[in-house]
Amino acid sequence: MPRRPTRTVPTVLLPDPFGAAEQDWQHWLAGQLSAAGRVVRVAAWPPPESADLAGCLAALRQSMAGLPDDGFDVLAHSAACLLWLHHAADTRAADTASAASGSPRPSRVALVAPPAPDRPLPAWDFLRPAPLAVDALRRAADGTVLVGGDNDPHCPGGVAPVYGAPLKMAATVIAGAGSLTAADGYGPWPAVLDWCGRDNLAFLA
């Protein structure tokens, strides 16, 4: 069989601000992609004592600065998913893909294990409530997919009912995956590496 082409676009990682970066799947993924010669950017969030919505949105947009419209992927984890929803719904970004914020538009976005809208977020509670703006989210990227565990303690209602239904978007639900952290067994995560290497949006667990 012919070898399947491998996707080579840049990847922007929006890590969980409360996660252990040296252990989680995003750190592993960054290493795998970098070793394959892929461009990887990891957003650097403000310190908790000075974090606010404006500063975090600025850090998110800085991680995408200069990338080509429709020519890169974004993967967000946990509370960073809520930040992406704010970015998408920002009134400055509502009319056009690249808006006044100057942010380029990714080709694909994966929102992994977003916490439920009513979950407390120490130091990042300014993210609540997260805007569930269907049209804005569609404008923010060519395609967006949700990924979550069926037993995530931070989203007990389930990622598909809580986010997939109101946002009218696909959700991949993984049995026993918890919050998809290293503690849940998601340090190395071959499925996310596979997603990064394919051109279609579907996330295959």
- How far apart, in whole angstroms, are the C-alpha atoms of residue 30 and residue 39? 9
Could you tell me if residue 1 is inside a domain? no
Reported confidence tier of residue 2, pLDDT bands at 50, 70, 90: very low
Q: Does residue 5 carry a pLDDT above 60?
A: no
pLDDT exceeding 70 applies to what percent of the chain? Answer: 91
**Which secondary-structure segment (H or E) carries 25?**
helix 25-35
Residue 147 pLDDT: 98
* Domain ranges, residue 36: 11-197
Q: Which two three-digit tokens encode residue 88?
A: 């998408």
Phi-psi region of 201 (alpha: psi -120 to 50; beta: other; left: phi over 0): alpha
Q: Provide the number of structural domains found in the chain.
A: 1
Could you tell me if residue 2 is inside a domain? no
Give me the count of residues in the chain. Answer: 205
Could you tell me if residue 147 is inside a domain? yes
Q: Contact at 8 Å (CB) between 114 and 82?
A: yes
What letters, b where the CB count within 10 A reaches 16 and e where it falls short, cover 1-12? eeeeeebebbbb
Reported confidence tier of residue 1, pLDDT bands at 50, 70, 90: very low
CATH of the domain at 34: 3.40.50.1820
pLDDT 10s digits, 105-119: 999 999 999 999 988
Could you tell me if residue 105 is inside a domain? yes
Could you tell me if residue 160 is inside a domain? yes
Could you tell me if residue 4 is inside a domain? no
Could you tell me if residue 3 is inside a domain? no
Residue 6 pLDDT: 81
Could you tell me if residue 204 is inside a domain? no
